[in-house]
Amino acid sequence: GAVVSQHPSWVICKSGTSVKIECRSLDFQATTMFWYRQFPKQSLMLMATSNEGSKATYEQGVEKDKFLINHASLTLSTLTVTSAHPEDSSFYICSARRGHEQFFGPGTRLTVL
């Protein structure tokens, strides 16, 4: 299968700061990437669809001004959690679509103190 990486794998930050998470497709180009959030012992919740060269499409209830998504190239999408608060602590996973398949990154664990 294809490889998708995320950086960092974990991050701890203070309340009120911003955190950027990178998602890269290493061996293929992805016009469409996705950002998910996963709470402990729960399924994945789609936050937004990231489209290369255009604005992201956010799911209902996800604040686009808080979760900024940029997909500036065919291999990189970034998610910036702005003014993070403890309730933003979660496991964030990205994925990239190649044809009918969707490959996931290893996830980023964000802890906001």
Partner 1 sequence: GEDVEQSLFLSVREGDSSVINCTYTDSSSTYLYWYKQEPGAGLQLLTYIFSNMDMKQDQRLTVLLNKKDKHLSLRIADTQTGDSAIYFCAERGNTDKLIFGTGTRLQVFP
Q: Does 106 bind partner 1 (CB under 8 A)?
A: yes
Q: Which of 44, 62, 74, 76 binds partner 1 (CB under 8 A)?
A: 44
Q: Is 89 in the site for partner 1 (CB under 8 A)?
A: no
Residue the block writes with tokens 């403890």: 86
User: Does residue number 95 form part of the binding site for partner 1 (CB under 8 A)?
Assistant: yes
- Pull the structure tokens for residue 75: 């291999």
Residues sharing a CB contact under 8 Å with residue 24, sequence separation 6 or more, in sequence order? 4, 5, 6, 7, 75, 76
Instruction: List residues binding partner 1 (CB under 8 A).
Output: 1, 4, 6, 32, 34, 42-44, 46, 49, 93, 95, 97, 100-107, 109
